[in-house]
Amino acid sequence: MKGRKLLMIPGPIEFEPEVLQAMGMATTSHVAPDFIEVFGNSLELMREVWKSPMGQPFIVAGTGTLAMDMAISNLIEHGDRVLIISSGYFGKRFEDISKRYGANTTILEAPLGEVVSLDSIEKELKTNQYKALTITHVDTSTGILVNPKPIADLAKKYNTLSVLDGVCSVAGEEINQDEWGIDVVLTGSQKAIGVPPGLALLIASQKAMEVWENRKTPVCNYYADWNNWLPIMNAYEERRPSYFGTPAVNLIVALESSLKIICKEGMDKRVKRHRGLAMAFRTAIASLNLKLLPKTNEIAANTLTAVYYPKGIDGTALLSKIANDNVIVAGGLLAEIKTSYFRIGHMGSVSSNDLISVLAVLERALLDLGHQMIAGKSLQTFQNELLKPD
């Protein structure tokens, strides 16, 4: 009995042992040659993961929310119009942030379990000149996956900047930042990128950097201002010492380690692994007479799954039974339905064995609570899905 727990929430996730070891190394000076090299490498590796050879990467201590804040505060000036395309809790966060910087916001909210239609987005873009639009790639509150490409195409057509919240998608879902022409793709370290919480990461396009350079008013956020951070990123990339705010040395060492693991696997293979496991997992969940929050498979995320509690089953009791079996899953997050569903994260280092453990523990808990199902059904389904040829 090791009392090992399996952390299956949508971030923080289970981290690779090498990443945790890297994190535990003796802290060096932030201007030590070795660390400068690590920082520079990390910036370069980010471009590979984001598929943005032309973009400007930023690595700053903070959370995913800081990355959202950084994108909006640098690109938006008082009175600018921002179109928020929302499929849950994190979409609305963009509205709050944009308003804080004086933006004139319009929010298009998807019906529960669905995505916002392209028609309604185009109609808005035709009606008003928007400075930027925001997309939540995977909304972690609903497990909804949005296809960013056609939205980025519309943004280009109507001369609007596109900002993609990739906190629950970067290094898990398909992203081609430069090819798709997305102006900012942002994330936080603790999700699919596989590093303990504490880093805000983003890549801005050349167009985004030009828009920022041509601002008429100063950025209304001192810490997030690219004026402070761009020279630092440039210095590290040119392998020169520099200072604005002390970088999170150990986290950045861990980041380099994780980015190397990701690039070694290769982004295409990594996306395919996430997709294969997620599809098999959704089929297995459905075989237990459980309902998923996303209405169709095409808009279901591959980094997490949101599942309704079955009728007559007490959600709190279910989650505590699962936790007692040393598997940690997450409850609901979207206020309207918070107590009627739960979420399982499956991103980063996730393997089929992890998901088999989740299914086994979930089955026992459901059977214990009297849910009508056949014991072993989801395990059998999962195995059969995995054994199917591609």
Ligand X SMILES: *Cc1c(COP(=O)(O)O)cnc(C)c1O
63 binds ligand X (CB under 6 A): yes
Query: Residue 106 in contact with residue 84, Cβ under 8 Å?
Result: yes
Residue nearest to ligand X (CB): 64
Complex with ligand X: residue 200 or 249, whichever CB lies closer: 200
Complex with ligand X: residue 41 or 305, whichever CB lies closer: 305
Interface residue with ligand X among 41, 42, 74, 140 (CB under 6 A) is 140
Complex with ligand X: residue 146 or 284, whichever CB lies closer: 146
Interface residue with ligand X among 69, 77, 165, 354 (CB under 6 A) is 165
11 binds ligand X (CB under 6 A): yes
H or E segment and range at residue 82: strand 81-86
Kindly identify the residues of this chain, within the stretch 220-279, that bind ligand X according to CB under 6 A: none
Least distance (Å) from ligand X to the CB of residue 365?
25
Span between the terminal Cα atoms of the chain, in Å: 38
Q: How far apart are CA 222 and CA 225, in angstroms?
A: 5
Interface residue with ligand X among 41, 56, 136, 302 (CB under 6 A) is 136
Least distance (Å) from ligand X to the CB of residue 312?
30
Complex with ligand X: residue 36 or 330, whichever CB lies closer: 330
65 binds ligand X (CB under 6 A): yes
3-state secondary structure of 315: helix
167 binds ligand X (CB under 6 A): yes
Query: Smallest Cα–Cα separation from 117: which of 163, 94, 150, 159?
Result: 150
Contacts 24+ apart (CB under 8 A), 117-124: 118/150, 118/151, 118/154, 121/83, 121/85, 121/151, 121/154, 122/154, 124/83
Interface residue with ligand X among 188, 332, 345, 348 (CB under 6 A) is 188
- What six digits make up the tokens of 254? 């861990």
Q: How many residues does the chain have?
A: 390
Which of these ranges, 27-35, 63-71, 116-124, 322-330, lies near ligand X under the rule CB under 6 A?
63-71
82 binds ligand X (CB under 6 A): no
Kindly identify the residues of this chain, within the stretch 87-126, that bind ligand X according to CB under 6 A: 90
Complex with ligand X: residue 143 or 310, whichever CB lies closer: 143
Q: Quick check: bond before 197 cis, omega within 30? A: no
172 binds ligand X (CB under 6 A): no
Non-local CB neighbours of 67 within 8 Å, separated by 6+ positions: 60, 167, 186, 187, 188, 200, 201, 202
Complex with ligand X: residue 66 or 285, whichever CB lies closer: 66
Please give the angle made by the CA atoms of 200, 209 and 234, to the nearest 5 degrees: 65
Query: Residue 83 in contact with residue 160, Cβ under 8 Å?
Result: yes
Q: Which residues bind ligand X (CB under 6 A)?
A: 11, 63-65, 90, 136, 138-140, 165, 167-168, 188
